[in-house]
Amino acid sequence: MSVDVLLGLQWGDEGKGKIIDVLTPKYDIVARFQGGPNAGHTLMFDKKKIVLHTIPSGVFHQSKNIIGNGVVIDPIEFIKEVDDLINAGAKIFEKLLISKKANLILPTHKLLDKVIELSKGVNKIGSTLRGIGPAYSDKISRQAIRIGDLSNNEEFINKYNSLSKKHFELIDFYKKQYNLEIDDIDFTLMEKKWFEGIELIKKFRFIDSEIYINEKISNNKNIIAEGAQGTMLDIDFGTYPFVTSSNTTTAGVCTGLGIPPTQINDVIGIFKAYTTRVGAGPFPTELNDANGDKLREYGKEFGSTTGRSRRCGWLDLPILRYAIMINGVTKLVMMKADVLDNFEAIKICTHYEYDGKIISHPPYSLENNNVKPIYKVMKGWNKSIVNVNKYKELPYELINYIEFIEDQLDIRIEIISTGPKREEIIVR
Does the protein bind ligand GDP through residue 420 (CB under 6 A)?
A: yes
At residue 81, what is the residue type? E
Beta partners for residue 345, in sequence order = 379
Name the minimum Å distance from CB 309 to ligand IMO.
Answer: 12
Does the protein bind ligand IMO through residue 279 (CB under 6 A)?
A: yes
From the list ligand GDP, ligand IMO, Mg ion, none, partner contacted by residue 9 (C-beta under 5 to 8 A by kind): none
Catalytic, 234? Answer no
What is the total count of residues that contact ligand IMO (CB under 6 A)?
23
Name the minimum Å distance from CB 104 to ligand GDP.
Answer: 23
Q: For the stretch 379-398, what's the b/e string if a residue is b when 16 or more beta carbons lie within 10 angstroms of its beta carbon? A: ebbeeebeebeeeeebbebb
Q: How many helices (H) and strands (E) does the chain have?
A: 12, 20
> One of 4, 21, 41, 74 is an active-site residue; which one?
41
Q: Would you say the C-alpha torsion 226, 232, 236, 241 has a positive or negative sign?
A: negative
Other residues' Cβ atoms within 10 Å of the Cβ of residue 19: 23
**In the window 341-400, what residues touch ligand IMO (CB under 6 A)?**
none
Does the protein bind ligand IMO through residue 127 (CB under 6 A)?
A: yes
Residue 332's alpha-carbon distances to 6, 101, 283, in angstroms, are 10, 31, 22
Does the protein bind ligand GDP through residue 15 (CB under 6 A)?
A: yes
From the list ligand IMO, ligand GDP, Mg ion, none, partner contacted by residue 127 (C-beta under 5 to 8 A by kind): ligand IMO
- DSSP letter, residue 102: P
Among positions 42, 231, 249, 327, the unique one binding ligand GDP when judged by CB under 6 A: 42
- Residue 286-325 contact track with ligand IMO, rule CB under 6 A, x = bound: ------------------x---------------------
**In the window 26-45, what residues touch ligand IMO (CB under 6 A)?**
38-41
Among positions 4, 17, 50, 274, the unique one binding ligand GDP when judged by CB under 6 A: 17
Catalytic, 41? Answer yes
Q: What are phi and psi of 94, to 5 degrees?
A: -80, -25
From the list ligand IMO, Mg ion, ligand GDP, none, partner contacted by residue 126 (C-beta under 5 to 8 A by kind): ligand IMO
- Residue 376 burial (C-beta neighbours within 10 Å; 0-12, 13-18, 19+): middle
Among positions 59, 147, 254, 278, the unique one binding ligand IMO when judged by CB under 6 A: 278
Does the protein bind ligand IMO through residue 52 (CB under 6 A)?
A: no
Residue 305's alpha-carbon distances to 56, 84, 179, 370, in angstroms, are 15, 14, 29, 30
Cα gap 235→98, rounded to integer Å: 24
Cα gap 178→32, rounded to integer Å: 36
Among positions 18, 167, 347, 351, the unique one binding ligand GDP when judged by CB under 6 A: 18
Tell me if residue 192 falls in helix, strand or coil. helix
Cα gap 366→345, rounded to integer Å: 26
Does residue 102 contact residue 73 with C-beta atoms inside 8 Å?
A: yes
Among positions 106, 232, 339, 415, the unique one binding ligand GDP when judged by CB under 6 A: 339
Q: Would you say the C-alpha torsion 190, 43, 27, 325 has a positive or negative sign?
A: negative
Among positions 7, 228, 337, 394, the unique one binding ligand IMO when judged by CB under 6 A: 228
Name the minimum Å distance from CB 172 to ligand IMO.
Answer: 22
DSSP H helical segments within 131-279, as ranges?
132-140, 153-178, 187-201, 209-218, 251-257
From the list ligand GDP, Mg ion, ligand IMO, none, partner contacted by residue 101 (C-beta under 5 to 8 A by kind): none
Among positions 35, 36, 37, 40, the unique one binding ligand GDP when judged by CB under 6 A: 40
Among positions 336, 346, 349, 352, the unique one binding ligand GDP when judged by CB under 6 A: 336
Of 15 and 133, which has the nearer Cβ to ligand GDP?
15
Cα gap 61→63, rounded to integer Å: 6
Of 210 and 301, which has the nearer Cβ to ligand GDP?
301
Other residues' Cβ atoms within 10 Å of the Cβ of residue 236: 13
Residue positions annotated with a catalytic role = 13, 41
User: Which residues contribute to the site for ligand IMO (CB under 6 A)?
Assistant: 8, 11-13, 38-41, 125-128, 130, 132-133, 228-230, 233, 244, 278-279, 304
User: Which residues contribute to the site for Mg ion (CB under 5 A)?
Assistant: 13, 40, 304
